[in-house]
């Protein structure tokens, strides 16, 4: 009998996702293990493998569909000898309408009211998007359901160069944008995005008062799934669930910078063994060891008990297109600076192309957010639930300090520990920061 293909749960917390791409079409034969689709969650793009073999009899959810609920029926697979006429959707949960009830297919409504509020630049944005989605003669066109068809390499280069794929034409199969199209756009200076690459423009939101912000004065960019989740979770953390408080400390960096320079001067510069230690690698290692000295700070609050974690699993904040993700260095207290450096570089690179696996960014016991490389002197992050604290790291800068009654110049950075007061009290936070300061100001102590 026909076999249902359901929207998979790609992580324990996933409730819905975007069916970004079908790699098969109706009538194709698939085998177990074949990649049949790509699913976008709020943090990553994951490939979906077929678990059975057969012929794709019917695709029920078009690629580009958003808000597809986990376990929703997305396609039907036929066994040998079966045909599309053998498909009875009522056996899969209420027929075609029932199968489609748990998601919405994104579209620009041609019948939407076009009142005076949707004018000027907002109308231009809408027309630009509709024009970009016009059919391309005999093939599928560059877009389907509002999604730009582009190769993963083209997307990565476009993202790095700040190109808007919606403004480019593709020369690949069925109008797909490929590497040569990106290279041509860069050479000709076209496709530069005013919004993040790949952003989708929408009409002026009804919630915006046109008297304050006339529609022609801005471009409205559709909220990504990642940005929606970030907004929801941080609002819950800061305004509803977690009582935050910050602790600040100034820490001298000169000894650490000298040690880093010596390590990098003697490390291989080429080949597979090449590596370069960053200040952030020291910060991750020092955080992990400080959590071992102040275990009460390595904790999670629950309604039933406080969880005291045995390992320091450090989440490292990485900025990516459309938001932020925190890949995790697991058991960081057991790893050397070189291993930490390799793992962070690898995960940060894959995070930018949304290739991290859920188990690489979900969980963790503590987070580090470093904006020092952007020149930020100090800041306070919001606790990343269910963790109990997050360390915000500012830029190191030369400042006057008093040593032995004398005024001297030292390289100093300010760190801020934001704590969940339900589990990390002020004294516990201070214990952590003092231990962290000792490891940073005397990095050789990390070897003990």
d(CA 387, CA 392): 14
Spatial contact of 408 and 252, defined as CB atoms under 8 Å apart: no
What is the token pair recorded at 296?
A: 């009460």
* Phi, psi for 433 (deg, rounded to 5): -65, -35
* Phi, psi for 388 (deg, rounded to 5): -100, -10
Establish whether 421 is a catalytic residue: yes
Q: pLDDT at position 179, please?
A: 84
- Is the per-residue pLDDT at 257 higher than 50? yes
As a whole number, mean pLDDT of residues 211-227 equals 76
- Is the per-residue pLDDT at 124 higher than 60? no
Q: pLDDT at position 195, please?
A: 53
d(CA 342, CA 348): 10
More confident residue, 338 or 142: 338
- Provide the pairing of β-strand 143-144 with 73-78: unpaired
Residues 6+ apart with CB under 8 A from 84: 26, 57, 58, 78
Q: pLDDT at position 43, please?
A: 67
d(CA 60, CA 71): 13
- Is the per-residue pLDDT at 261 higher than 90? yes
Residue 126 confidence class, pLDDT cut points 50, 70, 90: very low
**Highest mean pLDDT out of 8-12, 90-94, 223-227, 335-339:** 335-339
- Is the per-residue pLDDT at 210 higher than 50? yes
As a whole number, mean pLDDT of residues 307-328 equals 91
Helices (H), 277-407: 279-293, 337-352
CATH 2.40.50.100 domain position(s) in the chain: 3-99
CATH 3.30.559.10 domain position(s) in the chain: 243-447
Q: pLDDT at position 113, please?
A: 34
Written in H, E and C, the secondary structure of 329-359 is: ECCHHHCCHHHHHHHHHHHHHHHHCCCCCHH
As a whole number, mean pLDDT of residues 110-121 equals 34
d(CA 317, CA 367): 7
Compute the mean pLDDT over every residue in the chain, rounded to the nearest whole number: 80
- Is the per-residue pLDDT at 115 higher than 50? no
H/E stretch holding 66: strand 65-69
d(CA 397, CA 400): 10
What is the token pair recorded at 266?
A: 């003697």
As a whole number, mean pLDDT of residues 132-142 equals 37
Question: 3-99 has which fold?
Answer: OB fold (Dihydrolipoamide Acetyltransferase, E2P) (2.40.50)
Tell me if residue 76 falls in helix, strand or coil.
strand
- Is the per-residue pLDDT at 308 higher than 60? yes
Bridge partners of 10, per DSSP, are none
Of 224, 239, 233, 232, whose CA–CA distance to 384 is shortest?
233
H/E stretch holding 41: none
Q: Which of 188-197, 229-238, 295-304 comes out lowest in average pLDDT?
A: 188-197
More confident residue, 60 or 96: 60
- Is the per-residue pLDDT at 53 higher than 60? yes
Q: pLDDT at position 397, please?
A: 95
The HSE-up count of residue 355 (CA atoms within 13 Å, CB side) is 11
3.60.20.10, 3.40.718.10, 3.10.20.600, 3.30.559.10: which CATH number matches 243-447? 3.30.559.10
Residue 263 confidence class, pLDDT cut points 50, 70, 90: very high
pTM, full prediction: 0.62
Residue 271 confidence class, pLDDT cut points 50, 70, 90: confident
pLDDT tens-place string over residues 239-253 = 788 899 999 999 999
**Highest mean pLDDT out of 122-131, 132-141, 204-213, 303-312:** 303-312
Spatial contact of 315 and 385, defined as CB atoms under 8 Å apart: no
As a whole number, mean pLDDT of residues 366-389 equals 93
As a whole number, mean pLDDT of residues 385-390 equals 92
Q: pLDDT at position 58, please?
A: 87
- Is the per-residue pLDDT at 130 higher than 70? no
Q: Which of 135-139, 171-175, 357-361 comes out lowest in average pLDDT?
A: 135-139
| Secondary structure percentages of the chain, helix, strand, coil, to 5 | 35, 25, 40
Spatial contact of 400 and 408, defined as CB atoms under 8 Å apart: yes
- Is the per-residue pLDDT at 353 higher than 80? yes
- Is the per-residue pLDDT at 231 higher than 90? no
Of 283, 429, 257, whose CA–CA distance to 369 is shortest?
283
């Amino acid at each position: 009998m026909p076999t249902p293909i359901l929207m998979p749960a790609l992580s324990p917390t996933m409730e819905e996702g975007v069916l970004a791409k079908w790699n098969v079409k109706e009538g194709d034969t698939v085998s177990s293990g074949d990649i049949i689709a790509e699913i976008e969650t709020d943090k990553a793009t994951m490939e979906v493998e077929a678990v059975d073999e057969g012929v794709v009899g019917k695709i029920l959810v078009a690629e580009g569909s958003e808000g597809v609920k986990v376990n929703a029926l997305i396609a039907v697979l036929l066994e040998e000898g079966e045909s599309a006429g053998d498909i009875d959707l009522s056996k899969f949960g209420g027929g075609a309408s029932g199968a489609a009830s748990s998601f919405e297919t994104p579209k620009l409504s041609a019948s939407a009211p076009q009142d005076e509020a949707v004018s000027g630049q907002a109308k231009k944005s809408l027309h630009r998007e509709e024009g970009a989605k016009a059919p391309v003669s005999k093939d599928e066109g560059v877009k389907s359901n509002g999604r730009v068809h582009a190769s993963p390499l083209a997307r990565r280069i476009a993202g790095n160069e700040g190109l808007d794929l919606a403004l480019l034409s593709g020369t690949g199969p069925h109008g797909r944008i490929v590497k040569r199209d990106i290279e041509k756009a860069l050479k000709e200076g076209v496709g530069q995005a005013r919004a993040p690459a790949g952003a989708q423009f929408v009409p002026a939101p009804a919630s915006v008062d046109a008297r304050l912000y006339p529609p022609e004065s801005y471009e409205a960019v559709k909220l990504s799934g990642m940005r929606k989740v970030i907004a929801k979770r941080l609002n819950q953390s800061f305004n509803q669930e977690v009582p935050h408080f910050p602790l600040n400390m100034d820490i001298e960096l000169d000894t650490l910078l000298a040690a880093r320079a010596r390590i990098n001067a003697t490390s291989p510069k080429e080949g597979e063994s090449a590596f370069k230690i960053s200040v952030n690698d020291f910060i991750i290692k020092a955080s992990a060891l400080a959590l071992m000295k102040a275990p009460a700070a390595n904790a999670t609050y629950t309604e039933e008990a406080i969880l005291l974690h045995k390992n320091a699993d450090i989440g490292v904040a990485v900025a990516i297109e459309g938001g932020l993700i925190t890949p995790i260095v697991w058991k960081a207290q057991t790893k050397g600076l070189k291993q930490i450096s390799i793992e962070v570089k690898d995960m940060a690179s894959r995070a930018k192309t949304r290739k991290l696996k859920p188990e690489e960014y979900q969980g963790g016991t503590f987070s580090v957010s470093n904006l020092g490389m952007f020149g930020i002197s100090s800041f306070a992050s919001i606790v990343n639930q269910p963790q109990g604290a997050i360390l915000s790291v500012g830029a190191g800068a030369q400042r006057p300090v008093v040593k032995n009654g004398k005024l001297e110049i030292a390289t100093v950075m300010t760190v801020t520990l934001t704590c969940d007061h339900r589990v990390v009290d002020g004294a516990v936070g201070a214990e952590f920061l003092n231990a962290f300061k000792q490891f940073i100001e005397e990095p050789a102590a990390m070897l003990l």
